[in-house]
Amino acid sequence: MVVGPFRSEALMAGMDLIAKYKVPMLGTIAMTPGSEKKIKEDPEKYKYIFRTCLNSVHLVKYLAGNMALINKEFGFDKVYVMHQDVAWARATAELVKKMYFDTAGWTVLGEESYPTGTSDFSSGLMKASANGTQVIMPIFDMPQSGTLVKQWKSMKVPALMAGFISPLAGSGAWKTFDGKIGGAMNSIFELGSAIASTKVPPSKAFYDKYTRTFGKELQAGHGPAPAYESVYILAEAIERAGSLDPDAIVAELQKTDRSGVSGRIKYDEGHQAVYGFDPNETGVAAVFQWTEDGRRVIVFPESIAEGKIQLPPGLKSLK
């Protein structure tokens, strides 16, 4: 099985069924590290479950790594957090605060939680503008969240917008949001999903092939690249095993070491593909910034960066 459950709740609920019927699964969407915990606790029972996409812990490391870059480049250490009022977004925001902001000396000047469907963020933006915020970290996956960036732009809030807003991931966001998103920084969960890098040739080959085949560019920033890669990982494991026996396939999946669309993919003891900042050693995600003429420039990690972070009008570097 490739791709597997979309929501983490469904993955956790389905693990016993997958184990019962011994179906090798390469998940590419659900992100909870809870599945890895169960695998480590009972590796024989749950050995059929693998994840090729990043998990929520790796996402937090990328958000924190980007904040560390912002601090290094500009000396900023005052952040305002705005997130969707759903479990994954609340948890992600809390983990970034706990794992990075609290330990790196940042000041969290405020935190706003928005119900799914909210389309007006002006009140929170006014607070952020008034209290000396240097960086706004958004965490959203709802369609309306693109409006947050449009309002940030129209209100000329003097703060970097840097986090994750799902509707801003793909190239089509420029047209969707009337070209009013220049300067916003956004995260792509796996390289090759919605953006590619010439520094990782397989990601560019996949992205371009998709565009030629379907007549449009990939727009989803989470899932496509690891799903594509999983087909090859599974096929190669079957070929090495010389069998369709699930236990034989799993034994070969555990040996996976493949350089592909998202970098180098190897699974750890929890059957999670390892993500880091060097595509020659691990899988990689990407953080890009929208330019004022509608391009997306990768700015993090350094190994695949195409340019430097540009500050919005009214925000001056402290260095």
d(CA 80, CA 90): 14
Query: Which pLDDT does position 23 carry in this prediction?
Result: 97
Query: Which pLDDT does position 230 carry in this prediction?
Result: 98
Q: Residues with Cβ < 8 Å from 41, sequence gap 6 or more?
A: none
Query: In the chain, what are the domain boundaries?
Result: 2-51+207-276, 57-189+286-304
pTM of the complete model beyond 0.85:
yes
Q: 57-189+286-304 sits in which CATH class?
A: alpha beta
d(CA 23, CA 215): 34
pLDDT at 87 over 90: no
Phi-psi region of 126 (alpha: psi -120 to 50; beta: other; left: phi over 0): alpha
Does the fold of domain 57-189+286-304 match that of domain 2-51+207-276?
Answer: yes
Query: Which pLDDT does position 104 carry in this prediction?
Result: 97
Contact criterion met (CB below 8 Å) for 62 and 282: no
d(CA 202, CA 263): 8
Query: Which pLDDT does position 95 carry in this prediction?
Result: 92
Contact criterion met (CB below 8 Å) for 190 and 196: no
Mean pLDDT of the chain: 95
d(CA 233, CA 142): 31
Pick the CATH number of 2-51+207-276 from 3.20.20.150, 3.40.50.2300, 1.10.260.40, 3.40.1390.10: 3.40.50.2300
The residue type of 178 is: D
